[in-house]
Structure 1
Amino acid sequence: MAQPPVPADNPMSDAKVALGRKLFYDADLSIDGTMSCATCHEQRRGFTDGNRSHPGVHGDPGRRNVQTLANVGWYGALTWGDARVNSLEAQALIPIAGTDPVEMGFAGQEAVLTARLEGQACYRRMFGEAFPEEGGAVTMAAIAKALAAFQRTLVSFDSPYDQRKRGEVVEISPEALRGERLFKANCASCHAGPLFTDADRAGAGFHRIDAPFAGDRGLGDVTGKPADAGRFRTPSLRNVTLSAPYLHDGSAPTLEAAIRRHRAAMRLGDRELADLIAFLSTLTDERFVTDPRFSLPKGGC
């Protein structure tokens, strides 16, 4: 894979990544100091959180299931149901200051957040190092840029599947090898390429996997088109065994249940389903979910 694309106005730097990592784990990014980005994106779960959805700081119910951040720097669509959100910089501000639903609670109170961070000597220094061209100003745009820079480092390509593709000696079960063949025949058109999603292309990656559906219309709520009702972004399958529950609403508690919701899986027998799950288990990247570069920073500034 080539490096993920980087906006011209947000070039990568070690200082920016370090700042983004600190912000990612800081509950000061929520209005009442109870929620950080990492609250919903836990490294050990492949940067998901294990719940159907996560309530916001005021108790507002979460709208959709938390998706993984693995390899998110390559995605051309960054939410379950809105193809217009296609940059990490734009997406970062949605949980912080969004209203549908309210998550971290800073809508209309962004100045409170910037003043809170600016009041800390540690952050004044880190913003100065990360954004010298802006005089180290603590702004919502700078916060988003730093978070986006950190997220672009969340690269996961060291699973047993990847190791085997590189020619390394890896023990893969016969069940997983059969499952890989099934996957290529039934799943790879949407869960495509090395990212295991077709959401790496802007404007692509939204599909309806089952019917009927009620309530959440997905892409249809944005476009207003009947044909888009029930279409949601294809989630990546990397580290998928760590990220239950599944689907846009978290309504599938197991991989088996999630697979059975796909029309293409209706004809699969129990053995074939087990083989498919065995293959998906080879997409777990243990290095990624334990890498100290992505974990909570050590104490101090």
Structure 2
Amino acid sequence: MSIKSMANIGFLLAITWLLCSCQPDKVPAYDWKLPVGFPAPLVPVDNPMTQAKVALGEQIFFDRGLSFNRSLACASCHQPEFAFSEPKPFAVGATGQRLRRNTQALVNVAYNSNLTWAHSGLNNIEQQILIPMFAEDPIELGITGHEQEVLQRFQQDNYPPLFLAAFENSDPSFERIVQALASYVRSLISFNSAFDRYAYNADDGALSASAIRGMNLFFSERLECFHCHGGVNFTQASQHENQRLDLRPFHNTGLYDVDGLGTFPQEDQGLIEITLDKADMGRFRAPSLRNVALTAPYMHDGSFDSLSQVIDFYANGGRGAGVNSPIKSVFITGFYLTDDEKTDLLAFLHSLTDETFLAVSQTKRKK
């Protein structure tokens, strides 16, 4: 992203942040449909959840008219059948420009304490959505310079009554588009996997014996997985109405070490690009593992094609020179697994797939 683009986006983010003070959603009109006992996400006070905004946001999410040249929708990269991720290493913008990071899944994003792979200042979905919409380097939707042309598209078809229902005003604006998209993304809640039925609904038959053994391995001090992928959303980078403090959202896992000092390739060095703190070299946010079996390829650069490869990476304590990185996480120490234990761990990770979420999500895809 160019310095000019970063400045423009930074200004937009600053304005949005001033407007978005977060607290638990108190609007009774929206039903999260959470399992009993699950905490509600935090929601900005100036953008409370309503079904009307979710419905509007859903239609915009699948509409290629949001891109300046009508070539790309949000759903082009965040595909429902892949848990709103994309089955290739890097996304491609509306002009064909390759983005530098793997498309993240939009699963329980309402619980994320930080957005994107490595940005400690992006804590709010309304902030994050501005980037794919208006960024100029790389271009994603490419709206900058085409604002009025794009807005006019949302004055047509069935959009006026949708805007009227959501905002009591039929006139589209980018503020309303952002709020509607954020509402739809927040609505993508997934808590009905086989693991959930076993752990929270007392369904002892929901998990196979292999998956149960894999679960015990996952939560063991021997493997240490849960230190970064713990909590109700299988990531420490989360917050909700019962948990507002997040201490460990970003981690260096020993993926690279190009100079013996832990340095990552210049193309993408993680959180250090934002904080300029040497300690943040190679640190990226640990994503949720919910529906993880569907979100290959893995890591911020999509460098692993399968969960089997990911397990091998952690078992080795990193990759290549990264194994001996002096700044990788203390939890990435390596471990030994038998072939049967690896099969069990894979069975557990597959048990985090929510078939109901996938079925409902795929019916929402617009042609």
TM surpasses 0.5:
yes
Q: Counterparts of 1:74 and 1:101 in 2: how far apart (Å)?
A: 27
Mean CA deviation greater in 61-70 or 280-289: 61-70
Matches within 5 A, 1:70-109: 70-109=107-146
Are 1:244 and 2:296 matched, yes or no? yes
Using CA pairs below 8 Å that are at least 6 residues apart, which structure has the higher relative contact order?
1
Q: Counterparts of 1:168 and 1:223 in 2: how far apart (Å)?
A: 45
Q: Counterparts of 2:175 and 2:342 in 1: how far apart (Å)?
A: 46
Q: Counterparts of 1:203 and 1:91 in 2: how far apart (Å)?
A: 21
| Partner-residue secondary structure (3-state), 2:198 | helix
| Partner-residue secondary structure (3-state), 2:148 | helix
Could you report, residue by residue, the CA deviation over 1:190-213 in whole angstroms, capped at 9, with x for unpaired residues?
101110011114564110011413
Match of 1:285 in 2: 354
Structure 1 runs (4+) greater than 6 angstroms displaced: none
**CA positional deviation for 1:81:** 1.0
Are 1:189 and 2:224 matched, yes or no? no
Matches within 5 A, 1:102-251: 102-118=139-155, 120-132=156-168, 135-165=169-199, 166-185=201-220, 186-201=224-239, 204-210=248-254, 211-212=256-257, 213-215=264-266, 216-251=268-303
| Partner-residue secondary structure (3-state), 2:226 | coil
| Partner-residue secondary structure (3-state), 1:58 | coil
Could you report, residue by residue, the CA deviation over 1:214-270 in whole angstroms, capped at 9, with x for unpaired residues?
131110111111110100011110111111100000001111212233323732224
**CA positional deviation for 1:46:** 0.8
- The TM-score, its normalising length taken from structure 1, stands at 0.92
Number of residues of Structure 1 aligned to a counterpart in Structure 2: 295
5+ residue gaps, structure 2, are 1-37, 240-245, 258-263, 318-331
Change (3 A) 1:265 1:39: farther
Change (3 A) 1:150 1:293: farther
Paired amino acid for 1:205: P
Change (3 A) 1:67 1:164: same
Could you report, residue by residue, the CA deviation over 1:48-69 in whole angstroms, capped at 9, with x for unpaired residues?
1111011111111121111111
Could you report, residue by residue, the CA deviation over 1:142-183 in whole angstroms, capped at 9, with x for unpaired residues?
111001111111110000000001102434232222211111
Q: Counterparts of 1:294 and 1:200 in 2: how far apart (Å)?
A: 28
- The TM-score, its normalising length taken from structure 2, stands at 0.76
Q: Give the RMSD, CA atoms, in angstroms.
A: 1.8
Q: Which of 323, 330, 334 is the matching residue for 1:266? A: 334
Could you report, residue by residue, the CA deviation over 1:102-140 in whole angstroms, capped at 9, with x for unpaired residues?
11111233232212212x0421221121111xx333111
| Partner-residue secondary structure (3-state), 2:98 | coil
Contact 1:259 1:265 in 2 (8 A): no
Quick one: percent identity of the two aligned structures? 39
Matches within 5 A, 1:27-66: 27-66=64-103
**CA positional deviation for 1:294:** 6.4
Change (3 A) 1:39 1:203: farther
